[in-house]
Amino acid sequence: MFGRKSIITVLTTSMLLSAGVVYAQTNIAVNAQSVTAFDNKVIKKISADNMYNTIKYLSTVPREAGTAGEVRGVEYIESQFKSLGLETRRIPFPIYDYKTLKQQAIVDGADLNGHAFSGSGSGNVTAELVNVGKALAGTVTDDVKGKIALVERGDITFVEKVQNVAAKGAVGVLMYNTGTGNNFGQANGEVPAVAITRAQGLELVEKLKNGPVTATLDVDIERIEKTSYVVEAKLKPNKNKDTGQIVTIGAHHDSVANGPGANDDASGVSAVLELARIFVNTPIDTEVRFLTFGSEERGMVGSSFYVSQLPQSDIDRMVAHFQMDMIGGAEAGEDHPLGGLIMYTIDGQKNLVTDLGASATSRLYDVAVPYGQLGRSDHQPFHDVGIPSALFIHSPVEPQYHKPTDTIEHISKEKLQQAASTVGAAAYQIIRPDTPALDRAHVAPAIVNYDFENRAVD
Ligand code: BES
Ligand code: ZN
C-alpha cells in the first residue's frame, strides 16, 4: 500500500516542482499526497488570530446592506486592502426598499384584501379581467392588452409572470396562490401587481366563464433608493511573468438585518483579507482580485452588479472564482470530516476550483473535501458567465444562521484556519509563477478522487 510516507520517498524534488507530473503519477494512491513546499509558503503564514480579530471587529454591529453598518465594514475592509498596497476600489450600486402606502384589489365593489407584491408598480387601474393561467412564456395572448391579467402562482417566478403579461400590454396583475395566504413574493414591474388567495382566484376563474368581470387595482408603493458596495482589491502579477489570467477570491461583507453575521459572512471576509496579506508578499504570475460583496443577502445583488460591470475581456481572463461563505461556524458540519467543509457548485459538476480544492485538502489533511450542488451565494453570477466557481462552506450550517446569536463566541479558529488554508493552497496552484499558464498546465485535470455529496445544508 502507498502510505503518506512511502509516496514522499517516491517523489523527487523535480517531480514536486512540476506539479502536473506529480498529480498524474500519484493517481495510483488516491489522496496519498503530502503538503508541498508550495503549500507551506501559504499555509504557514495563515493566522487564525488575524482572521478572528477581523471577525470580531466586523461583527460588533450588523452590516445590513445600505446601512451605516455596511459602510463601517466597507471602510475597514478598504483600509486593510490599502494598507497592503493593493489597488483598491469601492464600487457603489443602488438597492431599493419598497414601502407600501396603498394596496387594494376590488371586484364588483368587494375588497379582496389583497397584498401588493414588493416591487410592484404603482397605479390605479380599472379594467376587465382576463384569465391567463400561469402566464408561462409564449402562452399569453394579445387578449390581455389594456386588461388586468388573472394569474395562477407556480412554475415560473412572479417577476417572469408579470413581465410576460406586461409585455402583451396588461395594465395590472391579480395573482392567486397555490396554497393559502395572499402575501407572497417580489414582482419588479411597472404595472400594479396584487396577490389574492387561491379560493378567491378560483372563484374569479369561474365567474369569468359567465361573462366579463371588471376589477380595480389601486397600488401606491414608495421606492427608496439606497447605496451598497463591492470592494475590489487587485494584486498584479510580476510584469515579466504574467499569464494574463485572473483568479478571484470573494466573500460577502453584508449581514442580515437582525444578526451581526460573524460567521455569515465576516468569516469569509476575514479569509479574503488574510489571503491578500499573504499573497502580496508572494511572487505570482496571475492577477488576483480580492472581492467583498454587499447585498448578497438581498439575492447576490453586489456580485451580480460586479460581474455585470466587468468588460468581457476581464471575464475571458477569469479562470477561477473561490467564494467563502460561513467558514468558521463552531457548531456547523456535524460529524462530517474537515468540520463539514464542502464545495458547492451551481450545476453540481466538478470544475477547476473543486479539483484544486479537493487536491489541497488531500495534501493538507489527508481527506478529499467533497463537492455538492447549491447556489445561495455569490458564486452564482460568476458561474452564470462561464467562470469555474465554487462556494466553500461548512454544512450543515450552525443553528445560529441568520440569528442575532451569529456572534464571535460561535467561531472556531481551527475551522477558519482549515478553510483559508484550503482556498489559499488551491489558489496558489494557479497563481504561483512556476506553473505555466493554465491552458498549457497539468494542474487543471482531476487530481484526486473526490465525491459528490447530497448533504442537507440547513
Ligand atoms: N451564507 C448563506 C448561504 C447559505 C446558507 C448556504 C445556508 C447554505 C446554507 C447566504 O448568505 C444566504 O443566506 N443566502 C440566502 C440566499 C440569497 C439569494 C438571499 C439564503 O440562502 O437564504
Ligand atoms: Zn452568507
Q: Atom 9, ligand 1: which residue's CA is nearest?
A: 457
The residue whose grid cell reads 453586489 is 302
Phi–psi pair at 151, nearest 5 degrees: -120, 140
pLDDT, position 185: 73
Q: Given this model, what pLDDT does residue 1 score?
A: 32
What CATH number is given to the structural domain containing 273? 3.40.630.10
Work out how many domains the chain is built from and give that number.
2
pLDDT at 440: 53
394 and 277 in a single domain? The answer is yes
Is residue 205 domain-shared with residue 232, that is, in the same domain?
Answer: no
Q: Of the candidates 327, 274, 326, which has an alpha carbon nearest to the alpha carbon of residue 297?
A: 326
Q: Which three cell numbers stand for residue 370?
A: 467533497
Domain span including residue 395: 13-95+226-431
What CATH number has the domain bearing residue 147? Answer: 3.50.30.30
CA gap 183, 174 in Å, rounded? 12
Strand duo 110-111 + 341-345: pairing: unpaired
Q: What is the pLDDT of residue 306?
A: 98
299 C-alpha to ligand 1 centroid (Å)? 9
Q: What is the pLDDT of residues 364-402, one digit of tens each?
A: 999 999 999 999 999 999 999 999 999 999 999 999 999
CA–centroid distance, residue 427 to ligand 2 (Å): 21
Confidence (pLDDT) at 435 = 75
Ligand 1 atom closest to Cα of residue 252? 11
* Candidate of 157, 264, 377 to mutate for ligand 1, largest count of ligand atoms within 8 Å of Cβ: 377
Q: Is 146 left (phi over 0), alpha (psi -120 to 50) or beta?
A: left
| Helices 413-431 and 267-279, axial angle in degrees (round to 10) | 40
Give start and end residues of each alpha helix (H) in 178-254: 198-209
Q: Please give the number of the atom of ligand 1 that sits closest to the Cα of 300.
A: 18
| C-beta separation of 370 from 337 below 8 A | no
Distance 125 CA to ligand 2 centre (A): 40
Q: Are 10 and 434 in contact (CB under 8 A)?
A: no
Q: Any residues with Cβ below 6 Å from ligand 1, and which?
A: 264-265, 296-297, 299-300, 325-326, 374, 376-377, 393, 395, 397, 401, 457-458
Residue among 437, 441, 88 at smallest CA distance from 245: 437
User: Is residue 438, in this structure, part of any structural domain at all?
Assistant: no
DSSP for 212-224?
A: --EEEEEEEEEEE
Atom of ligand 1 nearest to the CA of 391: 6
Q: Enumerate residue ranges in the chain where pLDDT < 70.
A: 1-32, 436-447
Please, what is the Cα angle at 415 between 28 and 253, to 5 degrees? Answer: 115
80-120 confidence digits (pLDDT tens): 999 999 999 999 999 999 899 999 999 988 999 999 998 89
